[in-house]
Structure 1
Amino acid sequence: MNTTYDVKFSQIQPRSNRGTLAYVARWRVAGKERSKSFRTKGLANAFMSDLRQAAKAGEEFDVATGLPVSMLAPESCGPSFLEFAQAYVLRRWSMSAARTRETDAYALLSLIPALVADAPRRPSAGDLREVLRVHALLPEKRRADLTSAQAAALGWLERASLPLAALGEAHVLRTALDAISVTFAGTPAGANTVRRKRAILHHLLEHAVEQKMFSNNPLDEIKWTVPKAVTVVDPRTVVNPAQARHLLDAVPKVGRKRGARLQALFACIYFAALRPEEAADLRLRNCTLPETGWGLIVLEKARPQGTKRWTNSGETHESRSLKHRADKETREIPIPPILVAMLREHIATYGTTNDGRIFATGTGGSYSSSAHSYVWQEARKLALTPEQIASSLAARPYDLRHAAVSLWLNAGVPAVEVAKRAGHSVDVLLRVYAKCMDGQQEQINNKINDALDE
């Protein structure tokens, strides 16, 4: 238990909550604001008197609950699940990418409202998630000011949240697993989503084991089948070279300027197997673009899109190290003459931003994923047949990367070299990418027939 003598008291304040007058006792423990609501001023005064008497007697206060040690019920010793989840997020904040922070919070938006006692006047699920999203799961400096309704929702969560120790019980963990198995709308969640949320719950409990709150991870004791997730590329999404060229040729025809500005970016995804966020941060200094022959890209950073509240800069896009790579580690990708020519033409037409980025909006910003998607879907309508448009063929810009890797593998490039260029481990490459290129079925069947006839 973490205790302190740092206690400061505030005045009791009246507050109207949905037409009912309540009195709020406020005090701070180790700099953290604490509050408790009472129906009458007399009850609030009595509670504050108990706190003051404990402090006057030199009693320690529990940092997790804000109460004097003498007022802690035996079962309430230790943090609540809400408090531990908040500490978990903040502990990982400085070491995590924006998307990781958002993924952690997304899992906790399911778990925290589920792991509560049956208390009266429960706010709606949406209100609970909103106060967690904009306030409780953020560092203090990033927290939004709460409306009276949000403050009431947070107060309810603080009172109702189960003790972390309750997760040692099988029925509580099954409640948690049930919560992550459905969407916020109550429909079954996708396998990948469930697996990610379970992994976060498991990791959170591993932190609790480290802090001696459990002797071992209680989630390991639960017999629960993790849903199988799709981990291989669907061959139906992969375009052949002719289809890729038709799509890239169609991109500049979309819109007045946006399509033209994005053509070379999509070309980088196809010809160099860049991830979209890697192409978004590509800079002139990263490129060797000779007048003839092959060129070279040396990737340094990626520029993923995130929600502002989760990024370090507070902006939607920010540069960070490459995926699955150490800080300042680079990746080299030789690029064919056709991509060299497209990049040279793009730079000659649009120049670069002040920080050297090749791809940007007219005002120097980064295109959003929705902008990428819009242009791509319009290009599909121009380049593909109606049947192909209705299919999953190249449904996303990212599918160009799948096509690139599949093409390299089918061309006989050694798996080690393909993995090096694509930024994968060989194990992941061989597990995820099949030799799937549209239009090769007959060719492959003929090869098998030839082998059978020998």
Structure 2
Amino acid sequence: MSTYDVRIWSIREHKGKDRKTGKPRSTYRVRWGVAGKEFGESFQTRALAESFRSRLMVAQREGVAFDEPTGLPEPMAREKKTRSWYQHAVAFVDMKWPHASPNHRKGIAETLATVTPALLLATRGAPNVDTMRAALYGWVFNTSARKAGPPPARLASAVAWIEENTVNLSALMDADLVRKALNALALRMDGKSASASTVARKRAVFSGALKYAVELRFIDRHPLTLVSWTAPKKKDGVDRGVVVNVAQAVALLEAVREVSPELEAFFGCMYYAGLRPEEVLHLQDDEYERPNQNAGWGWLHLSGATVAVGQGWSDDSEVIEERGLKHRAATATRSVPVAPPLAALLDHHIRTYPAPMNRRLFVTRRGPGGRYVATAGQPIPNNTYTTSWRRARQLALTEAQQRSSLARRPYDLRHACLSTWLNAGVSPTQVAEWAGNSVKVLLEVYAKCIDGEVEAALQRIQQNY
């Protein structure tokens, strides 16, 4: 709370004796009242007392509000209770931690570990870049790690140095320093420019930390309003070059059958049903509604996603997080049609690779002589299916296509699926419902022509001439 009800009295001299020497000594006390409550501050010399009293009188004369709890003008009160960037960033992490998903926690830590080296008081005695990042990302900005105990011995000196050498929050009212921090967020670890989406994500986290400082009244206004800084342009649409046509998709799935047959239906779910990888990993056998007739359509009734989060970022030390569907309530479901080719893949998969006790269709499998059997039902690691995908690309694509971005990631199969649906004339509203996106995002990102459709489009146009 703040007030303008302020009275400032004259300096009072108190004569006494020095406790050590016994010689006469005077102290000088400045007294003032704020909202009827008396405050005082003692000084060793009259000059210091007069200087402090002068600051109070200038603030009163200029109409500056006084902080009732401390009795000081608001700028002086903030200066007195300010904290360093290190202290504030740690407090921000701890505030966010209980309600953030493991992957979001990692994103916050990554952002703060990137920007903190730009907010140092000095560089003398600083740890090397790799050690500093390991200390920040692995311990300082991980609430669970800090609560578990002191930092590892190899990081202890780095943590101590960083804690003592970051700027105070008030320094972030300097536009040049804020611009320096934003420029740091725009670079990768190797010094090259980060992608526009990465910069946007990190800027949002940094902005949130600064907004938290404003909320706590450590600074007057949001520092990002002080600078004119242009972030890299974000690409709204999927690169047309990554999207496969039907023939290319079928060839890729056939190649998967050769290198990792237990993953053919896994990738089929992405291409024919537009599922995200984490949604495929969460899929259970009872969520697959089989077609009523041969060569008919079935349904997938999705209930969640299985996401790899890494050690140390979850509350229960698990490396896998089970969460609800993206952009939906935790208990929401989403139904997606199963085309006949996908139904055939799923039926074959279920017959060949029975589901384990947890009923998940796609789990880590092993067996002698190439025979795959269900294990404990652990989800397939990201590096396992991405490795299989790279091998399939080598088999199915030409050398030129392999060098291109065509289907470089498994996720590109989802792009191909949604583009195919849209190009087939399915309404954007329906496609958005099946895909788990908003119509706006769908039309901005996924409405792309698939590879091989341009010639057909030109022929249709030519027919009108």
TM-score by length of 2: 0.77
Structure 2 match to 1:253: 258
- Secondary structure at the aligned position of 1:303 is classed as strand
| Pairing partner for 2:81 from 77, 85, 92 | 77
Structure 2 match to 1:205: 210
Structure 2 match to 1:103: 107
Q: What is the alpha-carbon distance in structure 2 between the residues aligned to residue 400 and residue 83 of structure 1?
A: 44
Deviation track 1:50-96 (CA, whole Å, cap 9, x = no partner) reads xxxxxxxxxxxxxxxxxxxxxx9985632211111112122122222
| Pairing partner for 1:310 from 295, 313, 322 | 313
Structure 2 match to 1:34: none
Offset, 1:133:
2.0
Alignment of 1:345-356 (within 5 A): 345-356=348-359
Structure 2 match to 1:22: none
Alignment of 1:271-420 (within 5 A): 271-290=272-291, 292=293, 293-362=296-365, 363=375, 364-420=377-433
Structure 1 match to 2:151: 146
| Pairing partner for 1:232 from 234, 237, 256 | 237
Aligned partners of 1:135 and 1:143 also within 8 Å: no
Q: What is the alpha-carbon distance in structure 2 between the residues aligned to residue 122 and residue 77 of structure 1?
A: 27
CA separation of 1:117 and 1:324: change in aligned 2, threshold 3 A: same
Letter aligned with residue 303 of structure 2: E
Aligned partners of 1:301 and 1:320 also within 8 Å: yes
Offset, 1:181:
2.0
Offset, 1:188:
2.6
Deviation track 1:178-218 (CA, whole Å, cap 9, x = no partner) reads 21122223233232222221111112112222222333312
Deviation track 1:288-333 (CA, whole Å, cap 9, x = no partner) reads 1235221111111101222212233323222111111121111111
Structure 2 match to 1:161: 166
Deviation track 1:28-48 (CA, whole Å, cap 9, x = no partner) reads xxxxxxxxxxxxxxxxxxxxx
Q: What is the alpha-carbon distance in structure 2 between the residues aligned to residue 382 and residue 186 of structure 1?
A: 35
Gaps of 5+ in 1: 2-71
Does residue 242 of structure 1 match 2:247? yes
Structure 2 match to 1:54: none
Aligned partners of 1:136 and 1:143 also within 8 Å: no
Q: What is the alpha-carbon distance in structure 2 between the residues aligned to residue 119 and residue 321 of structure 1?
A: 45
Aligned partners of 1:251 and 1:262 also within 8 Å: yes
Q: What is the alpha-carbon distance in structure 2 between the residues aligned to residue 83 and residue 238 of structure 1?
A: 46
Structure 2 match to 1:426: 439
Q: What is the alpha-carbon distance in structure 2 between the residues aligned to residue 91 and residue 347 of structure 1?
A: 45
Letter aligned with residue 241 of structure 2: R
Q: What is the alpha-carbon distance in structure 1 between the residues aligned to residue 137 and residue 123 of structure 2?
A: 22
Structure 2 match to 1:191: 196
Structure 2 match to 1:263: 264
Aligned partners of 2:334 and 2:436 also within 8 Å: yes
Offset, 1:164:
1.7
Structure 1, 265-274 or 79-88: larger mean CA deviation: 79-88
Deviation track 1:100-121 (CA, whole Å, cap 9, x = no partner) reads 1111111111111221101531
Q: What is the alpha-carbon distance in structure 2 between the residues aligned to residue 393 and residue 431 of structure 1?
A: 20
Deviation track 1:402-430 (CA, whole Å, cap 9, x = no partner) reads 00000000100000000000111000011
Q: What is the alpha-carbon distance in structure 1 between the residues aligned to residue 333 and residue 211 of structure 2?
A: 32
Structure 2 match to 1:66: none
- Secondary structure at the aligned position of 1:88 is classed as helix
Offset, 1:378:
0.8
Structure 1 match to 2:23: none
- Secondary structure at the aligned position of 1:319 is classed as strand
Q: What is the alpha-carbon distance in structure 2 between the residues aligned to residue 387 and residue 148 of structure 1?
A: 50
Structure 2 match to 1:435: 448
Does residue 124 of structure 1 match 2:128? yes
Letter aligned with residue 282 of structure 1: L
Letter aligned with residue 190 of structure 1: S
Q: What is the alpha-carbon distance in structure 2 between the residues aligned to residue 76 and residue 148 of structure 1?
A: 34
Aligned partners of 1:134 and 1:143 also within 8 Å: no
CA separation of 1:100 and 1:78: change in aligned 2, threshold 3 A: same
Does residue 86 of structure 1 match 2:99? no
Letter aligned with residue 341 of structure 2: I
Q: Using the aligned pairs only, state the percent identity.
A: 39
Aligned partners of 2:78 and 2:219 also within 8 Å: no
Letter aligned with residue 228 of structure 2: K
